[in-house]
Amino acid sequence: MYAKKYGAEFFMRTIITYGTFDILHVGHINLLKRAKAMGDYLIVGLSTDKFNNIKHKESFFSYEERKKILEAIKYVDLVIPENEWNQKIIDIKKYDAEVFVMGDDWKGQFNELSRYCHVFYIPRTKGISSSKIKRGLK
């Protein structure tokens, strides 16, 4: 992504990641921090409530609540809605994303995106997950 600053052009490396980010925890923060460290501008594609229904996934917080939480995190520069599986290529092109990042629980699932950008799978934080938290709260 090119941007104008003080009359001069400079190159910004845009990173993009996707997720539901429900019941935010340290694993999410670690992912976002590590993703942001790979570039200058981090975009988070946040699964909408409608898309979560398609994925048979139930969120505790609504899309709007999860979006507000993500926007408050210093590593996140932009939150966009994720409405369907196939929008990733469109978003990569639209935002000139150079790097696509996901947790390594998705390893191999998005390799086809390497035709459009670099694809990285970041190791998950051991011992923590939203599912585990939800089970513990029951």
CA angle 119, 122, 125 (to 5 degrees): 165
Residues 6+ apart with CB under 8 A from 101: 15, 16, 17, 31, 34, 35, 38, 120, 121, 122
From the candidates 50, 55, 107, 134, which is the catalytic residue? 55
The question of whether 57 is a catalytic residue gets the answer yes
The structure tokens 């990641």 sit at 17
The question of whether 55 is a catalytic residue gets the answer yes
From the candidates 50, 57, 68, 94, which is the catalytic residue? 57
* Residue 100 near residue 110 (C-beta atoms within 8 A): yes
Residues forming the active site: 55, 57
